[in-house]
Amino acid sequence: MVEMLLVIAIIGIVTAMALVAWFNEMPMIRADSAMELMESQVRQARETAVDLRRTIQVTFSSTGTMTTVEQTVNVTTTPPTVTGTTTLNTFVLDPNTMTYTVLTGVPDTPDKFNSPTNYCVTSSGICFNNSACGSPAVLPCTINFQGDGTVVNSSGAYINGTIFMAAIGNSSNPANPQTARAITITGSTGRIKGYRYTGTQWY
């Protein structure tokens, strides 16, 4: 009987330790999932632009919404004019877990697309240069993937930018810097790269 009780106690202790580790790790797992989903949506927008040889407009709005729109352009006019749009996709981050935001103390990514000038929309993690989001920057913010995969603003200038995301915190459970995630976009090439934050650095 004593041996059985000891075994049960050991199982209980190990289970409790595993549950604590699991609950501590879950916010990071959710953050990874959200970043991977958002990155896949951005890549899909670029691939669609290249495949169709058309401009695909991506609009970031609210606290975690991304809408992809195909533009129909009349190229016989000078300059070419947009004659219609078709919404291809709307992606929304789970508002209970992740949002567009730059957490206090979290630095810029190694790509440095947000330095030395802060291009981020106020209280948001949407950060694009060349006044892509207006001046001062506001949501909704729109960028355009061209048929060659490059990214431009409404004026046709190449733009670099970063989409910062993190788990939502509250007074009883402050935001964890380790949930910070970022997706950078290079305008002149259309390169898209995801970053995770360890609490001390991006990788």
* Residue 13 pLDDT exceeds 70: yes
Query: In the structure encoding, which two tokens stand for residue 143, read together?
Result: 């960028």
**Average pLDDT value for residue range 110-133:** 85
pLDDT category at 112 given cuts 50, 70, 90 is: very high
pLDDT category at 7 given cuts 50, 70, 90 is: confident
Q: How much is the pLDDT for 23? A: 59
Question: Contacts for 117-125 with beta carbons within 8 Å, 24 or more apart?
Answer: 119/161, 120/164, 124/63, 124/100, 125/99, 125/100, 125/101, 125/162, 125/163, 125/164, 125/165, 125/166, 125/182
* Residue 116 pLDDT exceeds 60: yes
**How far is it, in rounded angstroms, from Cα 24 to Cα 45?**
34
**How far is it, in rounded angstroms, from Cα 104 to Cα 21?**
25
* Residue 180 pLDDT exceeds 90: yes
* Residue 40 pLDDT exceeds 60: yes
**How far is it, in rounded angstroms, from Cα 144 to Cα 132?**
10
* Residue 76 pLDDT exceeds 80: no
Pick the range with the lowest mean pLDDT from 4-8, 89-93, 120-124, 188-192: 4-8
Pick the range with the lowest mean pLDDT from 8-12, 130-134, 154-158: 8-12
Three-state SS letters, the chain: CHHHHHHHHHHHHHHHHHHHHHHHHHHHHHHHHHHHHHHHHHHHHHHHHHHHCCCEEEEEECCCEEEEEEEEEECCCCCCEEEEEEEEEEEECCCCCEEECCCCCCCCCCCCCCCCCCCECCCCCEEECCCCCCCCCCCCEEEEECCCCCEECCCCCECCEEEEEEECCCCCCCCCHHHCEEEEECCCCCCEEEEEECCCCEC
Q: How much is the pLDDT for 168? A: 79
Whole-Å CA distances, 9 to 14, 19, 111: 9, 15, 51
* Residue 144 pLDDT exceeds 80: yes
Question: Any idea which fold 2-196 has?
Answer: minor pseudopilin epsh fold (3.55.40)
**Average pLDDT value for residue range 125-132:** 86
What are the domain boundaries of the chain? 2-196
